[in-house]
Amino acid sequence: MSDTVHGHGGEDGETRRDFLVLASAALGAAGAGLAIWPLIDSMNPAKDVLALSTIEVDLTPIAVGQRITVKWRGKPVFVDHRSPEQIAKAAADDNASLKDPQTDKDRVKKPEWLVLVGVCTHLGCVPLGQKVGQPRGDFGGWFCPCHGSHYDTSGRIRVGPAPVNLEVPTYSFLNDTTLRIG
Amino acid sequence: MSASSQQQGPVVRWIDQRLPIFSFLQHELHEYPTPKNLNYWWNFGSLAGIVLVIMIATGIFLAMNYTPHVDHAFDSVERIMRDVNYGWLIRYVHMNGASMFFLVVYIHIFRGLYYGSYKPPRELLWWLGLIILLLMMATAFMGYVLPWGQMSFWGATVITNLFSAIPWVGEPIVTWLWGGFAVDNPTLQRFFSLHYLLPFVIVAVVMLHLVALHTAKSNNPLGIDPKSDKDTIPFHPYYTIKDSFGLGVLLIVYMALVFYAPNALGEAENYVPANPLQTPEEIVPEWYLLPFYAILRSVPDKLGGVVLMFASIFILFVLPWLDTSKVRSARFRPIYRQVFWIFVLACIVLGWAGAQKPEGAALMIGRLATAYYFFHLLILMPILGKFEKTRPLPESISQPVLKN
């Protein structure tokens, strides 16, 4: 490049040219970045997806000891109407050796209602134990068939490859019989 | 030019010895000897390439949110407009990008016509460009069907019905195109599939177009071959910077449309969901297809109109042989440089006529313009080359400049 047309290629001219090249390249890169952002952001959740991010669950038909699954943000949420024995067991296990220590009290708002995101924290399978007859693992909670994680009656990981406890979603009780998730 | 692979770092050298992408780029972009007298009309080739990239990029993201089904297509497009983050922007850039693509490509073609860029040794370069134009038309047409508005549906119906004009096999061909007995879900789904495929076919033909260009080398406003190194300059940085300036101007026009008049070039009717039981009062294609639509309607016979419309493009393939003049550039052809502008005017008039109702004066004007279009290409071009007294060509690209 240097042997052609640049003419007065003195030291001064070269640095000024370098500055112009760098400045326009930087401006061009910033412009390209700004232009690409709308494309990238279009892959984030759209407004209609965000609008579906809360659901309400009627708790009246759920008997003691019964577990139901509802869909929230495309994922299963476990709602467990725990029996006094299960609550006692969960509280007793607070002192057991836990991979992700958490007391049962910290994981519920009302002890009889345990609400969990039904997605194994290992690689995203849905653990078994919601339906009658399904294995509940060694600790009476849930059992993930994919890679053998056992969860207890508080949804805490006890044995297996999952790193942390089943997630507790944001929820609140609108009244005694209505649960709002999200 | 100095060999760049010597100057580059060890990583570039390591790659280049195994896969010579850097010396390829150096050779085709940096060293590529470009005539030094190219004017701004030579911007439009690279501009077309950039618009193609914008179309593919926005199209990929639109496809992530689009549903090719008659029950969901219209709503999914409206969802893109309302709910998807920046969906309105991406769709408007894509929609107006089609107009920009044709605008830029039409100017590119007229530049080729004016400066004789189709003449030897650039016939195949010209052919590949025409193939790109045909692919663009097919892609644009099928893309227009996807929102499944009234114009989408009835445009698809009218255009596919053109093939029913073919004797004997016309009806079976149309049924085959539709995948049914009317434009319906199977049609929409195959159009979506092809609308996604064809742009990549265009990219492939553009590559061939570039290979042919870099073999025959660029034409220039004087239409004479470079005689020595004095007549050429490296493409980079001289024409990359000139093309960048043109890109800035194009983007100003393009973004002015996107942000201030996004629907100015579209039909409002296409925001009404498709209704197979009711045809809109007037069916008009997008502006870039209007000249061909005018030619179609100028013939009172169904088959004749279809044949003439296709002929209007295919005739351009034999233009290198219809034009008998040895001189490329219209600068040295005193008569051609005037009739060229009449030809441009005829094409614009055809575009106007295509937008009018096909009756009365508009129909007559459309017929006259159609007749002139073919007269210019079929009769004027061969005769002019034989009888026109051309001006003397300069000895080299540098010579006329150096004399002053």
Rounded Cα distance, A5 and B395, in Å: 23
pLDDT at A26 over 50: yes
pLDDT at B130 over 80: yes
Of chain B residues 217-236, which have a CB less than 8 A from chain A?
A: 233-234
Regarding whether A57 and A11 lie in a shared domain, the answer is: no
Q: Tell me if residue B392 falls in helix, strand or coil.
A: coil
A147 is catalytic: yes
The token pair at B232 is 């050429």
pLDDT of the residue at B9? 87
What is the pLDDT averaged over residues A152-162?
92
Regarding whether A56 and A35 lie in a shared domain, the answer is: no
Segment B310-324, tens digit of pLDDT: 999 999 999 999 999
- Orientation of helix B87-114 relative to helix B235-260, angle to 10°: 130
A49·B87 Cβ contact <8 A: no
Contact A9, A15 (CB under 8 A): no
| Residue in B342, B336, B341 with CA at minimum distance from that of residue B383 | B336
Residues with Cβ < 8 Å from A88, sequence gap 6 or more?
Answer: none
Which residue in chain A has the smallest CA separation from B234? A1
Regarding whether A97 and A30 lie in a shared domain, the answer is: no
pLDDT at B212 over 70: yes
pTM score, whole prediction: 0.87
Regarding whether A149 and A81 lie in a shared domain, the answer is: yes
Rg of chain A over Cα atoms, rounded to whole angstroms, equals: 28
Q: Mean pLDDT over all residues of chain B?
A: 94
pLDDT at B361 over 60: yes
Top-level CATH class of B39-217+232-269? Answer: mainly alpha
Regarding whether A168 and A78 lie in a shared domain, the answer is: yes
What domain range is A17 assigned to? 1-44
Q: Match 């134009």 to its residue by tokens.
A: B133
Cβ atoms within 10 A of the Cβ of B9, count?
A: 7
B284-389 carries CATH number 1.10.287.980: yes
Residue B193, CB-side half-sphere exposure with 13 Å CA sphere? 6
Higher pLDDT, A21 or B290: B290
Rounded Cα distance, B274 and B149, in Å: 4
User: Does the bond joining B273 to the residue before it have cis omega, within 30 degrees of 0?
Assistant: no
Regarding whether A74 and A34 lie in a shared domain, the answer is: no
| Residue in A91, A73, A71 with CA at minimum distance from that of residue A82 | A91
Regarding whether A109 and A31 lie in a shared domain, the answer is: no
Contact A51, A161 (CB under 8 A): no
The token pair at A6 is 């640049």
Cα dihedral: A152, A154, A155, A156 (round 10): -70
Regarding whether A38 and A62 lie in a shared domain, the answer is: no
pLDDT of the residue at A74? 87
Regarding whether A105 and A136 lie in a shared domain, the answer is: yes
What is the pLDDT averaged over residues B320-347?
96
CATH code assigned at A138:
2.102.10.10
Q: Are strands A149-152 and A157-159 parallel, antiparallel or unpaired?
A: antiparallel
| DSSP letter (8 states) at residue B288 | G
- Number of domains into which chain A is organized: 2
Which residue in chain A has the smallest CA separation from B3? A1
The token pair at B152 is 């989408």
The token pair at B196 is 């996604």
B83·A39 Cβ contact <8 A: no
Rounded Cα distance, B124 and B221, in Å: 20
What is the pLDDT averaged over residues B188-200?
98
Segment A80-94, tens digit of pLDDT: 999 999 999 999 888
Confidence class for position B402, pLDDT limits 50, 70, 90: confident
Regarding whether A15 and A99 lie in a shared domain, the answer is: no
Active site residues of B: 214, 218, 242-243, 286
Of chain A residues 57-96, which have a CB less than 8 A from chain B?
A: none
**A-chain residues near B234 (CB < 8 A):** 1, 4
Q: Tell me if residue B273 falls in helix, strand or coil.
A: strand
Regarding whether A169 and A95 lie in a shared domain, the answer is: yes
Q: Tell me if residue A141 falls in helix, strand or coil.
A: strand
Regarding whether A64 and A86 lie in a shared domain, the answer is: yes
pLDDT of the residue at A182? 84
What are the domain boundaries of chain B?
39-217+232-269, 284-389
What is the pLDDT averaged over residues B226-231?
90
What is the pLDDT averaged over residues B297-322?
95
* Closest approach of A28 to chain B, Cα-based (Å): 10
Confidence class for position B403, pLDDT limits 50, 70, 90: low
pLDDT at A2 over 50: no
| Residue B84 forms contact with A (CB below 8 Å) | yes
The token pair at B162 is 């053109």
Q: Match 């708002």 to its residue by tokens.
A: A109
